[in-house]
Homo-oligomer: A and B are copies of this chain.
Amino acid sequence: MKRARTDEAKEDRRAALLKAALDTFYEHGFRAARMDDIARRAGVSKGAVYLYFDSKDALFEALIEDLATPNIERAEAIMRSAPSFDMAVTQFAAFAPYMLQETDLPKLMKILVGDSQFFPDVISNYRRNNLERLIGALKTLLTEAHARGEIDAPDADLTARLIVAPMAFAGMWQAVFGRDPEAAMDLPALFALHAANIRKALRPEAPE
């Protein structure tokens, strides 16, 4: 393999290793994943992996770290920029299928669930810095819309979780059954229906 002398080349190789690790962990699980496979998939020798990561554990931790941040920031931006609750819900319904089908999110979800036991701290951080932050942003949105009388959602926390739930459901479904064409789901339709349901369920009752 050519030597990665420049910083940029090093960064590329690091990224290739993380992508290879993601796919390998997804396909085999953390324990069954072989460093050798990850190395080969990244087009690098076994020994070279250790030039970039101290250990298999460190590789896993770096992987989660790396994948976590971008998504959450995008989601927060959507919620902050939406002019109304309805618009936010609409955008969420459009964004969710994309996330589940075009990004590595389902793979990440499966890895987090399947291998969480090895890295309690990583998992705990992920929950706090990503899931709770996402739910928190949703809660803010709900609370403000409720205050404006736009929706009727007295319990913002639980409501936020119910809004998010289909993403968890569809993501896991994708991750676990995704290879089986028989199990395919129409995600855009699912989330469009979900958005409609949410809007209707949160619609303030017209006063008599």
A contact residues vs B (CB 8 Å cutoff): 27-32, 110, 112-118, 120, 123-124, 127, 155, 158-159, 161-162, 164-166, 168-170, 172-173, 175-177, 179-180, 183, 185-186, 189-190, 193-194, 196-198, 200-203
Contact = CB atoms under 8 A, between A and B. Distances in A.
Question: Counting chain B CB atoms within 10 Å of each CB, which of A175, A190, A200, A201 scores highest?
Answer: A201
Contacts of A112: 176
A29 B115 contact: yes
Given A28-B117, A124-B180, A197-B197, A169 B158 contact: no
Given A31-B29, A165-B169, A158 B176 contact: no
Contacts of A202: 197
Question: Counting chain B CB atoms within 10 Å of each CB, which of A27, A120, A162, A164 scores highest?
Answer: A162
A180 B121 CA distance: 11
Assembly stoichiometry (copies) = 4
Chain A to chain B: the 5 pairs with minimum beta-carbon distance, closest first: A114-B114, A165-B169, A31-B31, A197-B201, A168-B169
A32 B201 CA distance: 44
Given A113-B113, A168-B168, A123 B176 contact: yes
12 contacts: A29-B30, A29-B114, A113-B113, A114-B115, A116-B176, A127-B176, A159-B193, A161-B169, A162-B193, A165-B166, A165-B168, A168-B172
Contacts of A175: 113
